[in-house]
Amino acid sequence: MSKKDKFSFRYYVGHEGKFGHEFLEFEFNSKGRLRYANNSNYKNDKIIRKEAYVSKSVLKELKRIIEESEICKESDKEWPMPDKIGKQELENIFRWYKTGLKHLYNVPPFLCTKNVNVPY
């Protein structure tokens, strides 16, 4: 990806339950940074946070999978709002800049949230 290409992909799933706020989250950006966080609170576990960098070929493949899945064509307007039971968030942003002007092309930012029931 060139310096002009901006890419960000983030996934979060979490809920409030018997052990408090439990969640899993990961995020990729156009520089290849992968951030991961996992908070279970089970047996008083501490939050796990990791950060690593992935290769350009991994980012290229991730971008291909996202584009091929057509997830950005989906709509979350009929999904229930997140509540205490839980929620999922998917944030996917592709930006292509033309001659230094910040115009958003091709795929708009996409954010969806949906309730999920997580059994114990």
Q: Report the CATH number at residue 38.
A: 3.30.1560.10
Domain extent, residue 47, equals: 5-114
Of 37, 29, 36, 35, the closest CA to residue 59 belongs to 29
Q: Is residue 20 domain-resident?
A: yes
Asked if the model's pLDDT at residue 117 lies above 70, the reply is no
Task: Count structural domains, the chain.
Answer: 1
What residue type is 95 in one-letter code? R
Report the distance separating Cα 9 and Cα 107, nearest Å.
13
* pLDDT confidence band for 76 (50 / 70 / 90): low
Res 94: pLDDT: 57
- Percentage of residues in the chain having pLDDT higher than 70: 61
Q: Is residue 119 domain-resident?
A: no
Report the distance separating Cα 89 and Cα 14, nearest Å.
9
- Higher-confidence residue of 38 and 105: namely 38
Q: Are 8 and 93 in contact (CB under 8 A)?
A: yes
Q: Are 47 and 19 in contact (CB under 8 A)?
A: no
Q: What are phi and psi of 99, to 5 degrees?
A: 50, 40
* pLDDT confidence band for 40 (50 / 70 / 90): confident
Single pTM value for the model: 0.64
Q: Is residue 15 domain-resident?
A: yes
Report the distance separating Cα 89 and Cα 8, nearest Å.
13
Res 92: pLDDT: 65
Specify the DSSP element, H or E, that contains 58: helix 56-69
Q: Is residue 25 domain-resident?
A: yes
Q: Is residue 120 domain-resident?
A: no
